[in-house]
Amino acid sequence: MAGLSFDLIALQLFTGLALGAIYVLFAIGLSLIFGMLTVVNFAHGAFYMVGAYVGLFLLSLGGNFWLCLVAVPLIVGTIGLVVERFLIRPLYGRGIDYPLLLTFGLSYVMVELIRIAFGKSGYPFDTPEILQGAVNIGVGYFPLYRLFVIGIAAAVLLGLWLFLERTSFGLIIRAGARDPQIVRVLGVNVSRVWLFVFGIGSGIAGLAGLLAAPLQGAIPEMGATILAEAFVVTVVGGMGSIGGAVIAGLLVGVVVSMTSLFAPEMAKVSIFALMAIVLLIRPQGFFGRAGLMS
Amino acid sequence: MAKKTTGSNSISRRRLLTTASAGAVLAASPFRINLLQAQESTIKVGFPVPLTGPYGTEAQDQVRAAEVAIAEFNEGGGLNGRKAELLVRDDKLNPGEAATRTLELIEKEKVNFIVGSLSASVQLAVNNVTKERGIIYNSISQSDEINEAKDFSKYTFHEALTPHLTAGAVGRYAFPKFGKKVAFLTADYAYGHEMVRGFQEAGKAFGVESLIDVRHPLGTTDFSTLLPRIQALKPDILVISNFGRDQQIALKQATDFGMKKSMKIVAPILLYTGRLAAGAQAFEGVIGGTSYYWGIEDKLASAKAFNDRFRKMHGGKVPSDYGALGYAGVKALLMGAKAAGSLDTDKVIAAVEALKYDYYKGPEYYRKCDHQAVQSVLIIESKSTPQKGDADVFNVIATEEPNEKNLRTCEALGHKS
């Protein structure tokens, strides 16, 4: 392969990190929700998509992108709260299948509602003016907006880390992810904790959707592909582990990017090869809890 | 019906039953059915298109334009008073589904003609059914294969452009203007491969050097991993050969990466619907080909007439490129039937072969060996801002006039002369 320079490889790695940033944001919620609630949330992709559309709607009302960055996770998080309280909570204790099927059906409903409200073709999403254009990062030109996405993802991760490590609610969440039974025995209202975890996870998914919209536009089906990739991320990183979701998300982004350099047709498949290898060596993923699925 | 006041229930029920059943027998009798058919026998045009799926927007515009053709034909008196009707079916962009729908249109609805579809593989599936059943089929989307001897039949017509013609026309315009070092970003299926082949063949005359051909799967949403490699090779021209949403996203992301600063981006086809969906910024400065752009109505009376009729029937909108093919595909067959004065298949085929027409874009005719519509190719450039309303999105910067030489030769397609 001609022209394989250090610059090109470095630029490709950077592209992988930008890809990974979106995966990380999206997969954190998925991993948290599974780790704590033992709910396989098939509607997570729909929340991602709704985030993009809520952003579109707010922009059409005359808002700006910065306002959306704050409002979208709050709005989508609230929708998540409602979904958990009224649709998922009644199904606890019945095993893993019921919430899975419910969220699966819910994803179809949400996609159809958006199609009815906004049409089937999708909308373009303009990159905010200040963030347009490419910057020279030393090894080549890179879109400024993608750098921004990496930055926001890092900021959100930092905020989440502080919340989990430094607040008592965060402590409960971490304990609940480790061992829900004991937490309940200790008298904590686990239902309320789960309500907020679902809300937080959905809110961050909505933010990920908003961030992804200027990259590829908003279409009703945008949640479907990323959901499949996010499951790979959560399995590789370990269900329930946020650190695992971060590392696996970035790893998956880089694997896709580097495979694209040598064999673009294999890029999408390569992440499943990665998942297979990790599962063979360490079935619970990098930082997962063994026996979580049983 | 007056009932006997003193009649017992059983008698009046029996009378009711006998009258009703006699009426039913009469209604179902062949005599009455023949009467119905003689009055209402319309010319049926089957129209399988992908109403659902990624090309839904384009397909719906094809339906709208086809409706214009039907309305014009009926208002013009039809075929000796017989009117036409359009039977639209959703083929879901799937060859199997398209074949089933086509079969249903032929067997159940007894259509006289079939016009459709979008996507190379789907139209081949429809063609396989129509040629076996001896029904005339006019294909309205790009394909190189449908003209080839192995797929062609006397019932097959192709109103749309071919990749060879389109890519060739765009290449002949762009290569002398912008440079010899060309990189390709291509959707990995028949459409993409055929377009690249068209560009490379046209490029031979200009000494074009093909630096790289990066293939991406259909439905790719993130091209960021494919672009750095292309940038590193420093091409003069980047040819992006994909369709629909893939094209919109690819152009947007290529713009984000600042590639327009160092190279000219060229596409074989620029879709009107795609430009509306993606916005001005993504398409700005991109050059491509098209079979039709509404803006030529300034210079062409037939375009103005078509646009005006479309505007009147569809709330002031203008037709898109693929939409217009829906119009022409249906109109050519109906006009052929009118010229032949009958619906006899062989007579209609002969009449359509003899047609010299200008329905919406200038003079056209069907080449005899492969029934390919010989027509102009418009070279367009996307504007940075619309000036005369939202639909003012492209500039026609050149027109390649109809010329059989730009098509693949009959011999190359396998037709014996």
Question: Residue B117: is the preceding peptide bond cis (ω within 30°)?
Answer: yes
Contact across the interface for B245 and A219, Cβ inside 8 Å: yes
CB-based contacts of A107, cutoff 8 Å, min separation 6:
A42, A43, A45, A46, A223
Residues B140 and B179 in one domain: no
Which burial class, exposed, middle or buried, applies to A168 when counting CB atoms under 10 A from its CB (0-12, 13-18, 19+)?
A: exposed
Residue B417 pLDDT grade (very low, low, confident, very high; cuts 50, 70, 90) = low
Q: Is the pLDDT of residue B21 over 90?
A: no
Q: Which residue of B has its CA nearest to A146?
A: B256
CB-based contacts of B151, cutoff 8 Å, min separation 6:
B124, B127, B128, B145
Averaged pLDDT in 10-residue chunks for chain A of 294 residues:
75 91 93 86 96 94 91 97 94 87 96 92 84 85 92 94 90 80 84 91 96 90 91 89 90 93 86 93 82 53
Contact across the interface for B228 and A216, Cβ inside 8 Å: no
The answer to whether position B198 is within a domain reads: yes
How high is the pLDDT of residue B324? 95
* φ, ψ (nearest 5 deg) of residue A252: -65, -40
Of B264, B290, B316, which residue is a domain's last? B290
Partners of residue A15 in chain B, C-beta under 8 Å: 224-225, 228
Q: What are B129-140's pLDDT values in tens digits? A: 999 999 999 999
Q: Establish if B252 touches chain A: CB-CB under 8 angstroms.
A: yes
Residue B17 pLDDT grade (very low, low, confident, very high; cuts 50, 70, 90) = confident
The answer to whether position B321 is within a domain reads: yes
Contact across the interface for A120 and B226, Cβ inside 8 Å: no
The answer to whether position B98 is within a domain reads: yes
Interface mutation vs chain A, best among B218, B257, B276, most A CBs within 10 Å: B257
Which residue carries 């960055």 as its tokens? A69
Report chain B's terminal Cα–Cα distance, integer Å.
73
Q: Which CA distances in Å does A163 have to A169, B113, B147?
A: 8, 67, 65
Residues B138 and B175 in one domain: no
Q: CA-to-CA distance for A145 and B366, rounded, in angstroms?
A: 50
Partners of residue B217 in chain A, C-beta under 8 Å: 265, 268
| Separation in Å, CA of B146 to nearest CA in chain A | 27
Contact across the interface for A8 and B57, Cβ inside 8 Å: no
Partners of residue B231 in chain A, C-beta under 8 Å: 140-141
| Separation in Å, CA of A211 to nearest CA in chain B | 14
When the pLDDT of each residue in chain B is averaged and rounded to a whole number, the result is 89
DSSP 8-state assignment for residue A4: -
Q: Establish if B215 touches chain A: CB-CB under 8 angstroms.
A: yes
CB-closest option in A19, A121, A225 to B224:
A19
Average pLDDT over residues B355-379: 94
Size (chain B), residues: 417
Q: Establish if B222 touches chain A: CB-CB under 8 angstroms.
A: yes
Partners of residue B278 in chain A, C-beta under 8 Å: 124, 217
Q: Establish if B386 touches chain A: CB-CB under 8 angstroms.
A: no
| Separation in Å, CA of A1 to nearest CA in chain B | 10
Residues B243 and B176 in one domain: yes
Q: CA-to-CA distance for B183 and A5, rounded, in angstroms?
A: 18
Residues B284 and B303 in one domain: no
How high is the pLDDT of residue B36? 46
Q: Which residue of A has its CA nearest to B218?
A: A265
How high is the pLDDT of residue B390? 87
Strand partners, B372: B158
Residues B154 and B224 in one domain: no
Instruction: Report the run of H or E that residue A43 belongs to, with start and end.
Output: none
CB-closest option in A215, A225, A257 to B225:
A257
Partners of residue A134 in chain B, C-beta under 8 Å: 256-258
CB-closest option in B214, B226, B229 to A8:
B229
Q: Establish if A218 touches chain B: CB-CB under 8 angstroms.
A: no
Q: CA-to-CA distance for A43 and B175, rounded, in angstroms?
A: 48
Q: CA-to-CA distance for B331 and B328, rounded, in angstroms?
A: 5
**Long-range CB pairs of A290-294, under 8 A, 24+ apart, other chains included:** A292/A34, A292/A35, A292/A38, A292/A239, A292/A240, A293/A96, A293/A239
The answer to whether position B394 is within a domain reads: no
Which two three-digit tokens encode residue B93?
């962009």
Number of domains in chain B: 2
Q: Which residue of A has its CA nearest to B52?
A: A120
> Would you give the distance in Å from CA A74 to the centre of its chain?
15
- In chain A, what are the domain boundaries? 29-124+172-219, 221-288
Contact across the interface for A124 and B248, Cβ inside 8 Å: yes
Q: What are B93-104's pLDDT values in tens digits? A: 899 999 999 999
Domain that residue B176 falls in: 164-290
Contact across the interface for A141 and B232, Cβ inside 8 Å: no
The answer to whether position B28 is within a domain reads: no
Q: Is the pLDDT of residue B4 over 70?
A: no
Of B256, B290, B324, which residue is a domain's last? B290
Partners of residue A11 in chain B, C-beta under 8 Å: 228, 232
Going by DSSP bridges, is the β-strand pair A141-143/A134-136 parallel, antiparallel, or unpaired? antiparallel
How high is the pLDDT of residue A96? 85
> Would you give the distance in Å from CA A209 to the centre of its chain?
8
Contact across the interface for B56 and A257, Cβ inside 8 Å: no
Residues B308 and B285 in one domain: no
DSSP of A187-229: T--HHHHHHHHHHHHHHHHHHHHHHHHHHH-B-TTHHHHHHHH
Q: What are B142-161's pLDDT values in tens digits? A: 988 899 999 999 999 999 99
Tell me the whole-structure pTM to 2 decimals. 0.83
How high is the pLDDT of residue B30? 52
CB B214 within 8 A of CB B226: yes
Which two three-digit tokens encode residue B219?
């439905």
Q: Is the pLDDT of residue B277 over 90?
A: no
Residues B275 and B206 in one domain: yes
- Chain A (247-276) residues lying within 8 Å, Cβ to Cβ, of chain B: 256-257, 260-261, 264-265, 267-268
Residue B120 pLDDT grade (very low, low, confident, very high; cuts 50, 70, 90) = confident
How high is the pLDDT of residue A3? 59
CA atoms within 13 A on the CB side of B194: 20
CB-closest option in A123, A256, A261 to B229:
A261
Q: Establish if A63 touches chain B: CB-CB under 8 angstroms.
A: no
User: What is the percent of chain B where pLDDT is above 90?
Assistant: 74
The answer to whether position B21 is within a domain reads: no
Residues B169 and B261 in one domain: yes
Which amino acid type is present at position A229?
A: E
CATH number at residue B61: 3.40.50.2300
| Separation in Å, CA of A226 to nearest CA in chain B | 10
Residues B271 and B316 in one domain: no
Residues B176 and B144 in one domain: no
Which residue carries 């008073």 as its tokens? B81
Q: Establish if B216 touches chain A: CB-CB under 8 angstroms.
A: yes
Q: Is the pLDDT of residue B35 over 50?
A: no
Partners of residue B257 in chain A, C-beta under 8 Å: 134, 141-143
The answer to whether position B8 is within a domain reads: no
Of B338, B356, B375, which residue is a domain's last? B375
Residues B233 and B328 in one domain: no
Partners of residue B226 in chain A, C-beta under 8 Å: 260, 264
The answer to whether position B133 is within a domain reads: yes
